[in-house]
Structure 1
């Protein structure tokens, strides 16, 4: 566990001041967070996702570069789009090293705030990265009738597992990988994944079934342990789900297929997880449930807080990004003990 700037004289973390109507730690300290498990999974959980993955592989992604290339922060950047499932065309960006030397590829997704540009400094050197805006989210993949705000997006189609929009977002990741390999064939040899918050949860759902990915970084991942999440107030998309559950408890029958912690049981590639002790937006127990359930090599970076400004945040964010770049750089990493 890394050191943090906000500590008491005894070396313990001091409470973060806030004016929220609930405790963003939900009473969990680190030992208790490391004990959170994934919920039981439906008997056909793996079959459901394998069938969706197989269907996504049949899509002609027809990727295309749209507009001119530009050079920003040492990488070449271009607008890109590709076809995903359900006839949805996804927009985003492609970045490649300015010197043209590509050693690996990356699919990098975003939080529920969407994305208006690529964050090219996040990827390791030598990486060709596709930065999709997942369906229904800005600025490149807005859809008629689909709310672009997290409160509405997370509930769209939630009445059935076949129609739930989150499943389409997972397919967008698989199709992004296909598109990247077509656009930059050199990226096919070693493909990685980066996802934050919403993108962290989507990544956990996507990774188990797609053997093209070799390593991943998940930052404050959402969608972990839905049965626990619906009992915890928050300021993020989980609050909409919690309110729906209060009206319609059977919604958990659908959410059982979209639980990032359940999916993590099936992830065998190396995964770097950064999870927060304090987070008003994504309850920390759900974040840690994703990490704790991982079946393969894993590395944990414990953050002081997520989705919340605090003293020392810039330094901790820089340390996180450096740790992720190191982890995702070849050769494939072998993680130390998750509590080290």
Structure 2
């Protein structure tokens, strides 16, 4: 069933944002601190059993100089600098195995798959990157309220910084065309892609599917589905910390970040999505500053367009890059 507003209302939905006065300074300082600690990335050739793709086990410096892992997949026997898709993963997943990440290299792109720190035990794709930062004050099981007592300790400060430095890593690789670096992700990966686009000026395009981490307040009020359900659970048990929690989330809301993103973007939304309700997606999409389009999947849930949306993405990038 439909879980939100009519499509005509969604296309016009522009909730009044609440942005901290120091939003831009916060992110400028955060990224500068971590870039100052960054060492050179390492790309170790990896025997994967794949015959048409060269695979590299990637280690790069993320937030606070912490090591973040990933995969780099390059189409074999292809000459010249390649467009690159920097790929971010959904909630509680990780980089998985190389053969689980073949779409973009098969389409002729370099593909950097970023591991998500601390995640990867959700039963679908595993990860190898720890999150060495302390958990901080009591939080709901999961990641959405971890460190939520302050924007400086919040979990997604580290993840979004990792994502920006993953783009730095792609840009620095000799096989990558610096003019054609794309960010891509679905659900949590889509929310991370919004952040990377907003915080990195050299992103050439963004592919954002059914994004999580947008319009937190509305999501917490209208859906009982996880992971957003972690927020009302937290506020129900930590009653005195509601204002503090939502104050922190303003620094990480896809609505606020999208207003700073200027790259061309293709979004997707599913009108029967109870995990990332359509109004939360449109709240970010409608504030995106760059050229944009959105594919609407009327009768789908959080799976969105699946492989059909991937075909839309191929066409979108072909229109941009030729």
Question: Which bracket does the TM-score occupy, shorter chain normalised?
Answer: 0.7 to 0.9
Q: How far apart, in 1, do the equivalents of 2:208 and 2:180 lie?
A: 18
Q: 1:111 aligns with which of 90, 103, 112?
A: 90
Residues 120 and 187 from structure 1, CA distance in 2 versus in 1: closer, same or farther, beyond 3 angstroms? farther
Q: Secondary structure at the match of 1:41?
A: coil
Q: Is the 8 A contact 2:164 2:199 kept in 1?
A: no
Counterpart residue number, 1:8? none
Instruction: Give the superposition deviation at 1:47.
Output: 2.1
Q: 2:55 aligns with which of 77, 85, 100?
A: 77
Residues 245 and 206 from structure 1, CA distance in 2 versus in 1: closer, same or farther, beyond 3 angstroms? farther
Instruction: Give the superposition deviation at 1:73.
Output: 7.4
Q: Is the 8 A contact 1:122 1:321 kept in 2?
A: no
Question: How do residues 131-150 of structure 1 correspond to structure 2 at under 5 angstroms?
Answer: 131-138=113-120, 139-143=127-131
Q: Secondary structure at the match of 2:301?
A: coil
Residues 42 and 69 from structure 1, CA distance in 2 versus in 1: closer, same or farther, beyond 3 angstroms? same
TM-score by length of 2: 0.85
> In angstroms, what is the RMSD of aligned CA positions?
2.5
Q: Is the 8 A contact 2:214 2:255 kept in 1?
A: yes
Q: Secondary structure at the match of 1:187?
A: strand
Instruction: Give the superposition deviation at 1:74.
Output: 3.4
Q: Is the 8 A contact 1:61 1:179 kept in 2?
A: no
Counterpart residue number, 1:49? 27
Q: 1:100 aligns with which of 64, 69, 78?
A: 78
Instruction: Give the superposition deviation at 1:79.
Output: 2.0
Deviations 1:108-128 (A, max 9, x none): 001003131352214673321
Q: Is the 8 A contact 1:279 1:306 kept in 2?
A: yes
Give runs of ≥4 in structure 1 deviating > 6 Å: none
Q: Is the 8 A contact 1:135 1:142 kept in 2?
A: yes
Counterpart residue number, 1:183? 173
Q: 2:290 aligns with which of 278, 288, 296?
A: 296
Question: How do residues 121-270 of structure 1 correspond to structure 2 at under 5 angstroms?
Answer: 121-122=103-104, 125-138=107-120, 139-143=127-131, 151-246=141-236, 247=239, 248-250=241-243, 251-270=245-264
Counterpart residue number, 2:124? none
Q: Secondary structure at the match of 1:161?
A: coil
Instruction: Give the superposition deviation at 1:89.
Output: 0.9
Q: How far apart, in 2, do the equivalents of 1:276 and 1:256 lie?
A: 24
Q: How far apart, in 2, do the equivalents of 1:151 and 1:123 lie?
A: 35
Residues 288 and 228 from structure 1, CA distance in 2 versus in 1: closer, same or farther, beyond 3 angstroms? same
Deviations 1:286-339 (A, max 9, x none): 11211111111001001232335xxxx7xx422200111222346359xxxxxx
Please list every run of 5 or more consecutive structure 2 residues that lacks an aligned counterpart in the other structure: 121-126
Q: How far apart, in 2, do the equivalents of 1:122 and 1:278 lie?
A: 27
Please list every run of 5 or more consecutive structure 1 residues that lacks an aligned counterpart in the other structure: 1-14, 16-24, 334-340
Shifted more, 46-55 versus 164-173: the winner is 46-55
Counterpart residue number, 1:40? 18
Q: How far apart, in 2, do the equivalents of 1:272 and 1:286 lie?
A: 16
1:29 aligns with 2:6: yes
Q: Is the 8 A contact 1:264 1:295 kept in 2?
A: yes
Residues 318 and 159 from structure 1, CA distance in 2 versus in 1: closer, same or farther, beyond 3 angstroms? same
Q: How far apart, in 2, do the equivalents of 1:169 and 1:73 lie?
A: 32
Larger RCO (alpha carbons 8 Å, 6+ apart): 1
TM-score by length of 1: 0.81
Q: Secondary structure at the match of 1:188?
A: strand
Q: How many residues align?
A: 302
Q: How far apart, in 1, do the equivalents of 2:270 and 2:182 lie?
A: 23
Q: Is the 8 A contact 2:207 2:267 kept in 1?
A: yes
